[in-house]
Amino acid sequence: MVINHLRDFRRSRKWSQEYLAKRLDVTRQTIIAIENHKYSPSLELALKIARVFETPVETIFHLEERGNEKCSKGMQDM
């Protein structure tokens, strides 16, 4: 599962969901879904989000520890 800190970053800037959505050219509903972990953004959108906040993408998005272990195990089996 992808964990994100979008809500924390947005609130630290005192930005509304609507303002962030407009900056990213997405709907407010998309921002809500990402913040509520209902939707994982595409790579393109994740990179745009990181650019808007002027931070590396992995600062906002990262894999849950269990996910990393599963990915690593799967790669070893290859």
Phi, psi of 16 (to 5 degrees): -80, 165
Nearest to 58 by CA among 43, 73, 36, 78: 43
- Domain boundaries, position 43: 2-76
Positions of the chain with pLDDT lower than 70, given as ranges? 67-78
The number of distinct structural domains making up the chain is: 1
pLDDT (0 to 100) of residue 69: 53
Take residue 43 and report the two structure tokens written for it.
């790579």
Place of tokens 């992995």: 58
pLDDT (0 to 100) of residue 1: 85
pLDDT (0 to 100) of residue 53: 98
CATH number of the structural domain spanning residue 24: 1.10.260.40
Per-residue model confidence as pLDDT tens digits over 4-24: 999 999 999 999 999 999 999
